[in-house]
Structures are given as C-alpha cells and as structure tokens.
C-alpha cells in the first residue's frame, strides 16, 4: 500500500526545502523542485500585499543590514515570478535589510505556489521566527479561516500549534482598536489583553487598559477590577429589578390618562426621563392641552 501523502501543516519545511530556509522541519519530498539560486536586481522584487507582518523593528533590521554588509545574504529569498516583477514568498526581512545595506542585487530562489500556500508560508515563517506581533498573528489566522475556508483545527495544524492557541489568539481581535494598538506597541502583554476581554464596554476596556499601563498593573489586578465591576453591575441590576414594577405601574397610569404610549426610563441618582409618543399633529395638540391643563 502506498504511503499516505503528507499534507500541509508540518511546518515550513513541508512547503519549502530545508536548504532554502535553514529551518529544521518535516519535508514533503514530492514537493515541486525549486530552480537554482540566481541574482536578481533588488528593484525587481516586491513584497506580498497579503504579508501578515506589517511592522518591522528598525533596530533589528539595521543589525541584519550590518551583518549583510559584512557577510552577504546567506539564505536566498524565496520568490515567485509574476511576469513584470518577482513576488516575495519568504524573506521580506532579508530583502528590506539588503536595501538598507545598499545591495543592488540579491540571491533568490524562484518557485511556484498557490495563493493558499503563499499565505501559509508567510504565516509559518513569521511565527517560527517570532516576527509577528499578537494582532498581526491573529489577523493572519483570520485570513486563512475566511479567505480559504479553513477550520480552526486545520489552521492549527498548518502552524503546528494547538487549536486553543489559535482560538485565544483570534479572541484578541475582539478588543477595541485602541487596546489592540497598545498591544502592538508592547504597552500591554497578551496576558493583560486576554484579561481585558472580560470587559465588554469598549470605552471602559480602554480606560482600564490605560490604568494598566500608567499604574503598571498585573493580570491579577485586572481580574480584581473586573470582579469588582461585575459585583457593582449585579447590585445595580438587582436594584433596578426591585423598582421596575413601580415604573411599569406609573407607565400604565399615565398611558390611560393621556391615551397614548408612555415610556419611563430611569437613570442613576433618581434621575430619568418620560417619553410620550404621538403620531399626528392633532394628537400632539390634544396631549399638550391635557398636560397644560393638569399643570394648572
């Protein structure tokens, strides 16, 4: 019986041979062979538009550029021929550093990939080298799920992580934009961010996040804040239930007196508002006359 062909999800080596990327991982020996390395003008190479990594650490990029000036590019950049240019599949960081180093040409290895394979390679390469911030990683998982109709189990297999890890990563996208940016800027840890997910109100979530940064709060501190907020919300909710029947009774009495729909909306500190509906100008005049008469 023939051995079952290996699918994707065995690490970067399952998509690109080890000698291409110097990454220790399982290999599919039946994968399409790559062309020999060749030198390509750096101006003819462009990054993928769907590259999951959006930010690059300038200090680390400069360190790599300095190394390239001294030793050159040891690993070729993996590209795909798009006719008028070569698209980077793996090695954008090396390409950027090479430009910083002033190189005019870089070694490349030209290969053919499907769009899904390119998305998977970009994600795996960045994750294995810890190049993505938490939000970039979560968005990359989301892209694989939505664009290629994969399940979370399949995405987890592709990146060699547990399904729980992928799920927890994607939950970070439920944070408000401001808190996501704080996470990107390393003002918060992933632990802080996950704890903040318990706060549904986005404005309050951001307010607490700012406290975390300003006061150097721990994850345990956030959990305590959330617990106190939950207690306070429950007390307010219980009090509202106690008084609800009183407002309903008054709503019914005013409705009968005015002959139209009435809503009483209580707020904190014994404040609130009464809404009286009317549907025609004649009805408005009738209700207004009743209210004026009652006031006199």
Residue, of 20 and 206, whose pLDDT is higher: 206
The CB density around residue 206, as the number of other CB atoms within 10 Å, is 19
Residue 85: how many CA atoms within 13 Å on its side-chain side?
10
Residue, of 255 and 217, whose pLDDT is higher: 217
Closest CA to 195 of 164, 217, 178: 217
Looking at the chain, the whole-number percentage of residues with pLDDT higher than 70 is 78
How far apart CA 86 and CA 136 sit, in angstroms, is: 24
Say if CB 119 and CB 150 are below 8 A apart.
no
pLDDT of residue 281: 74
Per the residue annotation, which of 87, 92, 120, 136 is the catalytic one?
Answer: 92
How far apart CA 208 and CA 178 sit, in angstroms, is: 12
How far apart CA 278 and CA 23 sit, in angstroms, is: 72
92 noted as active-site residue: yes
pLDDT of residue 71: 86
Q: What is the mean pLDDT of the chain?
A: 78
pLDDT of residue 123: 79
- Is the predicted pLDDT of residue 52 greater than 80, yes or no? no
- Is the predicted pLDDT of residue 35 greater than 60, yes or no? no
pLDDT of residue 26: 29
pLDDT of residue 128: 65
Pick from 6-15, 192-201, 212-221, 278-287: least confident = 6-15
Q: Cα dihedral sign for 148, 135, 132, 50?
A: positive
SS3 content of the chain, % helix, strand, coil (to 5): 55, 10, 35
pLDDT of residue 218: 93
Instruction: Over range 14-33, report the average pLDDT.
Output: 37
Buried b / exposed e along 129-153 (16+ C-beta atoms within 10 A):
eebbbbbbbbbbbbbbbeeeebeee
Bridge partners of 46, per DSSP, are 87
The residues spanned by each domain of the chain are: 11-129, 133-174, 224-295
Q: What's 11-129's CATH class?
A: alpha beta
Instruction: Over range 238-259, report the average pLDDT.
Output: 68
**3-state helix/strand/coil string of 107-156:** EEEECCCCHHHHHHHHHHHHHHCCCCCHHHHHHHHHHHHHHCCCCHHHHH
With tokens 């990454």, the residue in question is: 23
How far apart CA 290 and CA 161 sit, in angstroms, is: 70
Instruction: Over range 246-268, report the average pLDDT.
Output: 76
- Is the predicted pLDDT of residue 17 greater than 50, yes or no? no
pLDDT of residue 296: 73
Helix or strand run (H / E) with residue 295: helix 281-295
pLDDT of residue 171: 92
pLDDT of residue 175: 95
pLDDT of residue 234: 58
Say if CB 93 and CB 87 are below 8 A apart.
no
pLDDT of residue 152: 87
Q: Give the pLDDT band (50/70/90) at residue 36.
A: low
Pick from 36-40, 181-185, 186-190, 268-272: least confident = 268-272
119-163 residue pLDDT tens: 888 777 767 666 678 998 898 888 888 888 888 888 888 888 898
- Is the predicted pLDDT of residue 9 greater than 50, yes or no? no
pLDDT of residue 157: 86
Cβ contacts of residue 63 below 8 Å, gap of 6+?
Answer: none
54-105 residue pLDDT tens: 677 788 888 888 988 888 888 888 899 998 999 998 888 889 999 999 999 9
pLDDT of residue 24: 31
How far apart CA 197 and CA 180 sit, in angstroms, is: 11
């Amino acid at each position: 019986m023939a051995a079952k062909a290996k699918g994707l999800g065995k690490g970067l080596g399952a998509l690109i041979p080890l000698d291409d990327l110097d990454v220790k991982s399982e290999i599919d020996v039946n994968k399409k062979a790559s062309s020999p390395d060749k030198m390509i003008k750096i101006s003819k190479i462009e990054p993928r538009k769907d590259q999951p990594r959006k930010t690059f650490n300038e200090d680390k990029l400069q360190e790599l550029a300095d190394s390239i000036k001294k030793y050159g590019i040891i690993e070729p950049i993996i590209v795909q021929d798009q006719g008028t240019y070569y698209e980077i599949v793996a090695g954008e960081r090396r390409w950027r550093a090479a430009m910083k180093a002033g190189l005019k040409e870089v070694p490349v290895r030209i290969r053919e990939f499907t769009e899904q394979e390119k998305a998977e390679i970009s994600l795996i390469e960045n994750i294995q080298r810890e190049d993505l911030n938490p939000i970039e990683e979560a968005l990359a998982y989301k892209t694989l799920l939505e664009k290629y109709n994969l399940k979370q189990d399949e995405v987890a297999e592709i990146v060699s992580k547990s399904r729980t890890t992928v799920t927890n990563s994607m939950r970070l996208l439920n944070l408000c934009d401001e808190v996501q940016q704080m996470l990107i800027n390393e003002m918060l840890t992933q632990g802080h961010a996950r704890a903040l997910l318990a706060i549904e109100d986005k404005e309050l979530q951001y307010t607490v996040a700012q406290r975390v940064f300003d006061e150097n709060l721990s994850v345990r501190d956030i959990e305590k804040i959330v617990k106190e907020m939950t207690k306070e919300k429950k007390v307010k909710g219980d009090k509202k239930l106690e008084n609800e029947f009183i407002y309903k009774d008054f709503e019914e009495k005013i409705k009968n007196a005015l002959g139209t729909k009435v809503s009483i909306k209580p707020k904190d500190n014994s404040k609130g508002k009464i809404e009286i509906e009317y549907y025609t100008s004649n009805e408005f005049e009738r209700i207004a006359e009743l209210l004026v008469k009652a006031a006199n």
